[in-house]
Amino acid sequence: MRAWLRRCLLVLAVFALCWGGAIWYWRAGTRVPTAGDLAGAMLLLPLSLLLAFWLGKKLLARLAAAPALAAAVAATPQADAAPTAPPPAPLHIVAAALRMPGGATPEELTTAMQARQARPALDPDLLDENGYPLLCGKVAGVQEDTQQQTLAAWLRQHPQPGLDAERFPFNPEDVRALALGAEVLADLMYAAMRHPLLPAWLMAPASARAAMALPTLQLHLLLPAAWSPAQSQAGSAWLHRLLLEQGWPPEKLALPTLSATPQPAPFALLAQIAARAAQDGQPVLAIVLACNSYIGEMSVHDWASREQLFSAGQADGQIPGEGAAGLLLANSAEAALLEAPPSVLLHRGAAQARDSAAGPRKQGEPGLLASLATQALASAAVASADITLVSADTDQRAGRMLELMNCTSALLPELDLGTQVLSVGTACGHAGPVAALAALALAQHAAASGGQALCLSNLDPLHYGAIVVGPPAGNGDAAG
């Protein structure tokens, strides 16, 4: 809204200056303007100035991104370079699922964003300190009360270490996050349960199961960063229990041990899964799930106290959002068994971590995303002209949007910025790591239709990344 008002004021100012100058000139010269004078001064001159201003902005953006882009291209390994070890085979995205304010599936969210129907709205139940409704991205239909009653009953029956058994440990937005995460997990498990070896494994005697090739299902969770270790442990146990209820055997389920260190960024986690698969050579079947919600008084009060809440006076603030998104990943052999139609590859991406001592950036860094995107395209052996969609976790803040627009303008000038460059954070509000996985889900949907998609991440001030998602070029990837 603020950007739209700024553009309107600019147009009005240009027309006012042109008209005022023309009237002053005609009065000073004591001459009556002709029809041509009127058309030129009142219409052609202001439109020409506005067009020149717009073209100048585009030119400056390209010039700003050019040095970093040239450096990225120069740094790309050449064909005659010394031979190196082959990179790990790309993983397959067997299924993707999400629950976001703009849609309950990747297809719904893509359609809504391309039609500009997915955008934050004023919520009468979420108020600022002055009592006015807040702009937020809220998922409709979340049954908070039902979810809290079910979760509270389970916690009473299964006390978790570090939590008070008499006190419910989650606030309303936490409950919303777990409810959304449970829905996405159910969708992904529906795809995992199609594994053809599962029925035989369940029916076989325990003594014969050790020789069967059913892979271990890994569950990687990106839960709200503000949760305490005890809350994260309880939330993980709850989602783990939902997997078992779906029918997956507990002996073939792995939940990584939580540690006190910060959880990895989504793109870094995907790289770890691929690297570990290449290192140990074991079959890969993994669920990566993120859920989060800032739709609650606690989050709003926290953001407002730290001057991070979007408002008329804080244009660079964050818009509260929520959602859940996840991917079911597999190596080539397991993806073939699951018969995922069609096969979609998650290529080796490029990522860069930023020193936390530098603090969060306020202005965009024009060439950084372009550099990472160039590396990701080279790693996937995909030409920029083949990219049909760019999806990103970018939100509405000026610095992030400047990075995204500079990158796409420099590398992919033929794309339609309105329908082929989709920024999840702008459409759905701020939901942390959920936005990156949701952007990957949009890329998977585009790649499943035969296209090549470039997924970018610049929402986290300390982590940037780029990954290409697309159908395999041939059958040569089966070695994964």
**What digits encode the pLDDT tens for the residues 38-57?**
777 777 777 777 777 766 76
Distance of CA 23 to the CA centre of its chain: 52
Burial of 289 (0-12, 13-18, 19+ CB in 10 A): buried
Instruction: Please write the tens of the pLDDT for every residue from 447-464.
Output: 998 889 999 999 988 889
The 3-state DSSP class for residue 310 equals coil
Please check the confidence at residue 260 and state whether its pLDDT lies above 80.
Answer: no
Tell me the chain's radius of gyration from C-alpha atoms: 26
Note the pLDDT of residue 183: 95
Question: pLDDT-derived band of residue 59, with 50, 70 and 90 as boundaries?
Answer: low
Q: Alpha-carbon distance 188 to 326, whole Å?
A: 7
Looking at domain 91-203+213-470, its CATH architecture is 3-Layer(aba) Sandwich (3.40)
Domain ranges of the chain: 91-203+213-470
pLDDT exceeds 60 at position 202: yes
- Convert the pLDDT of each residue in 151-174 to its tens digit: 999 998 888 888 876 788 899 999
Cα 7 to the center of its chain, rounded Å: 28
State the pLDDT at residue 213: 81
Please give the pLDDT value at position 478: 36
* 75-98 mean pLDDT: 65
Helix/strand/coil percentages in the chain, nearest 5: 50, 15, 35
Residues 223-258 pLDDT 10s: 999 999 999 999 999 999 988 988 899 888 888 765
- pLDDT of 144 higher than 90: no
**DSSP, res 37:** H
Q: What is the pLDDT of residue 83?
A: 43
CB 243 within 8 A of CB 189: yes
Q: How far, in Å, CA of 282 to CA of 309, rounded?
A: 45
What does DSSP assign to residue 347?
A: -
- Strand 452-457 relative to strand 463-470: parallel, antiparallel, unpaired? antiparallel
Q: Residue 341: is its pLDDT beyond 70?
A: no
Q: Is the pLDDT of residue 133 over 80?
A: yes
What confidence category does residue 63 fall into, taking pLDDT thresholds of 50, 70 and 90? low
pLDDT value, residue 377 = 93
